[in-house]
Amino acid sequence: MTDLETPVATPPRASALRRAAPALLGYAAVRALGLLTLVVWSAARGTSAHRLLSARWDSLWYTRVAELGYGYEVRLPNGDVHANLAFFPLLPWLERLGAAVTPLSSADTGLLVSAVASLAAAWGIFAVADHLHGRRAGVCAALVWAVLPIGVVQSMAYSESLFTALAAWSLYAVLTGRWPTAGLLAALAGLTRPVGIAVVAALWVTAITSFVGERRRNGSTPGTDGARVRERALGMIIAPLGAAGYVLWVGHRTGKGPLGYLDVQAGWRNGFDGGYAFARFVAGKLASFPSALAGLGLILGVALLLWLYVTCVRQGQPLPLLVYAGVVVALALCASSYFGSKPRLLLPAFPLVLPPALALARLRTSRSALVLGCAAVASAAYGAFWLNGSGPP
């Protein structure tokens, strides 16, 4: 494993792109299959695939921010207030910029941003896995992330692809000792989604652990590489600026102080209760048949997530990946938000794909291709069915 304090030489961009090409081409093929399936399925039902991808659920809120700015809210009959301040600004900023400099609408710019960001995310996941386990594992990791059952979200005008791209490359920068770059990308991730704190936590914990380890190795004598220490400190300073800046701005805007953003989220009935509401939801499912089957499926799904995380620990994943994945999973499972959105909230937890990616990398190419191909078909069908049904709120 590469020492986190030893910068790794960056390969030329052309060489890096060639190395990642199989992963990117495979990823693009999976997403193309998913989109084609969605178009055919939607046409058969008389619905618009374009609308499902760009103008429903959260994508509408992002577009409103891009076009109208912050301040829009909806008051529900039960007293809840859905304010667009809940949505972090980086995606809407990019949508507004795209609409200003191209003929595209804000919604279509959102689709373009997601398309580019999803490729960047696949490349970042490949880069992390390749750095740790080699090229074959990197290709498999990118493809496993592509064929997740909710992989269609990667092609929607949502912020998951943009966030995952920023998170993956920030963690790659941490792994390769590029602390200022890691901090900048972490700050941008913090402007994209509330879970950006997972990237900040990964950077901070790794930096502090590295500093403590360095002090122990050198005793009471400071490290000799002052530039490296300064770069690490700079990365730590930059990393939280995005999330902290937006949260503080929302608090100022609402007049409710530094924690005003929590009140905004409460209007959406989002909060952190340690998983109590989710546990009650699952228990309610188990109370009757046939909903008990869904409850059992949820329990198995949570067990699978925990097993994957434990496997990541046992396989010796680097500290930044473990911290990041742990925080993403904890926030997703322990939030009191709408339970149907939890699979989507888990999408950025890409370190969890490394154990299955390593297992596939050990197989012969024909067998791994068969497994991934079958998973891609199933993912495409499920994504089309899902978006034409309840969809990802």
Q: Are 190 and 244 in contact (CB under 8 A)?
A: yes
pLDDT for 337 equals 76
Q: How many CB atoms lie under 10 A from the CB of residue 56?
A: 16
Residue with tokens 């989109």: 35
Alpha carbon distance 53, 371 (integer Å): 27
HSE, side-chain direction, 13 A CA sphere, residue 210? 26
DSSP string, 124-166: HHHHHHHHHH-HHHHHHHHHHHHTSTTGGGGGSSSSHHHHHHH
Q: What percent of the chain has pLDDT over 90?
A: 79
pLDDT for 1 equals 40
pLDDT tens digits, one per residue of 275-323: 888 888 888 888 888 888 888 999 999 999 999 999 999 999 999 999 9
Tally of residues, the chain:
393
Alpha carbon distance 352, 304 (integer Å): 10
Residue 255: is it exposed, middle or buried by C-beta count within 10 angstroms (0-12/13-18/19+)?
exposed
pLDDT for 220 equals 52
Q: Are 23 and 123 in contact (CB under 8 A)?
A: yes
Residue 119 corresponds to which tokens in the numbers above?
């490729």
Question: What pTM was estimated for this model as a whole?
Answer: 0.94
Low-confidence ranges of the chain (pLDDT < 70): 1-11, 219-224
Which of 137, 138, 129, 190 has the alpha carbon at shortest distance from 162? 190
* The dihedral formed by the CA atoms of 174, 175, 176 and 178, expressed in degrees to the nearest 10: 0
Alpha carbon distance 323, 200 (integer Å): 10
Alpha helices in the chain (DSSP H): 13-45, 49-54, 58-68, 90-101, 106-133, 135-146, 160-175, 179-190, 197-218, 226-238, 241-254, 260-267, 276-286, 291-314, 319-333, 342-345, 354-362, 365-387
Single-letter amino acid, residue 221: T
Which of 375, 391, 392, 386 has the alpha carbon at shortest distance from 29? 375
